[in-house]
Amino acid sequence: MPERIGDSFQEQTKYSINGIPSGAMHGPQPEMYKSYPGSQRAALPNPVIRPGASLWDILAARRSHRKFADRDLSLDDLSLLLWSFNGITARAGKYDFRTAPSAGALYPVETYVVANSVAGLDAGAWHHNIPNWELELVRGGFQGSNLSYACLNQKMCETAPAVFVWTGVVQRCKWKYLERGYRYIYLDCGHAGAHLHLAAEALGLGCCMIGAFFDDEVNAIIGADGEEETALYIAAVGAKA
């Protein structure tokens, strides 16, 4: 690996008053949504927003929780957690606007749920199909132990009822923003993670964000190729122990 690659990336993706990319689109726009035709599907309940603590109380209470009670996550809670960052709240032309922001409303981040113990849902790695508000099975069977290993043996990936895995579909953002787009993909993923963490706290659930993992091993679990689509961020969620 080249030395100081992070410094080089930061320098080479800067915008300067002496030159900014024109903003012209580079080829046809990639599909806005990913789907898995022919896969096993599981419908999600319509997300229902519930009364609870104020945003300020939730912000003050938010902490990372790594130990979870031996209790299934409900599909209702899973649906609401997904809505907290993937929910479509408005439309303008061909663009959908969601609960979490995205540069240029391009939404290059895809969401997978590794279900370990979700009530009414088979164990496995599932993709969130946003337009149909359902889950699509990409890898069946209990994946918690595989994901735990891939996350440097962090056991919470095995004991949490649900683990969220976010990927970046790179060309969705580079199509417009070129190399600068990588910055926006990471930022978009951070927005999603923050929304999820606060939503979990609002539901009385524990959540812990994970950035340390073996990239190729996580990609293999969810079927990402690691180039056109690659794992970015992970979050374990469940009832607090």
Give pLDDT tens digits for 46-74.
999 888 889 999 999 999 999 999 999 99
Tokens 């938010």: give the residue: 62
Tokens found for residue 18? 């002496």
Instruction: Kindly tell me if the per-residue pLDDT of 1 is higher than 60.
Output: no
Q: Domain 64-239 class?
A: alpha beta
Instruction: Kindly tell me if the per-residue pLDDT of 112 is higher than 70.
Output: yes
In this structure, are residues 84 and 99 in contact, taking their beta carbons and an 8 Å threshold? yes
Q: Identify any residues that bridge with 110 across adjacent strands, giving them in sequence order.
A: 167
Give me the mean pLDDT over the 91-116 stretch.
Answer: 96
| 153-195 per-position pLDDT tens digit | 999 999 999 999 999 999 999 999 999 999 999 999 999 999 9
Tokens found for residue 201? 């706290």
Query: How far apart are alpha carbons 117 and 208 in whole angstroms?
Result: 17
In the sheet with 134-140, reading across from the earlier edge strand, the strands are 41-43, 134-140, 124-129, 109-115, 162-169, 229-239, 205-210
Give me the pLDDT at residue 18, please. Answer: 80
Query: How far apart are alpha carbons 183 and 180 in whole angstroms?
Result: 6
- Three-state secondary structure call for residue 209: strand
Q: Where are the domains of the chain?
A: 64-239
Question: pLDDT grade, residue 149 (50/70/90)?
Answer: very high
Distances (CA, A) of 165 to 56, 107, 126, 147: 27, 15, 10, 10
Mean per-residue pLDDT of the chain = 95
| 208-228 per-position pLDDT tens digit | 999 999 999 999 999 999 999
Query: How far apart are alpha carbons 207 and 60 in whole angstroms?
Result: 15
Give me the pLDDT at residue 20, please. Answer: 74
Pairing of strands 162-169, 134-140: unpaired
16 versus 186: the higher-pLDDT residue is 186
Type of residue at 23: G
Give me the pLDDT at residue 22, please. Answer: 60
Tokens found for residue 241? 């122990």
In this structure, are residues 68 and 238 in contact, taking their beta carbons and an 8 Å threshold? yes
Type of residue at 13: T
Give me the pLDDT at residue 23, please. Answer: 57
The percentage of residues in the chain with a pLDDT greater than 70, rounded to a whole number, is 97
Q: Which of 8, 24, 5, 4 is nearest to 178 (CA)?
A: 24
In this structure, are residues 139 and 124 in contact, taking their beta carbons and an 8 Å threshold? yes
What distance lies between CA 209 and its chain's CA centroid? 11
The 10 Å Cβ neighbour count of residue 17 is 5
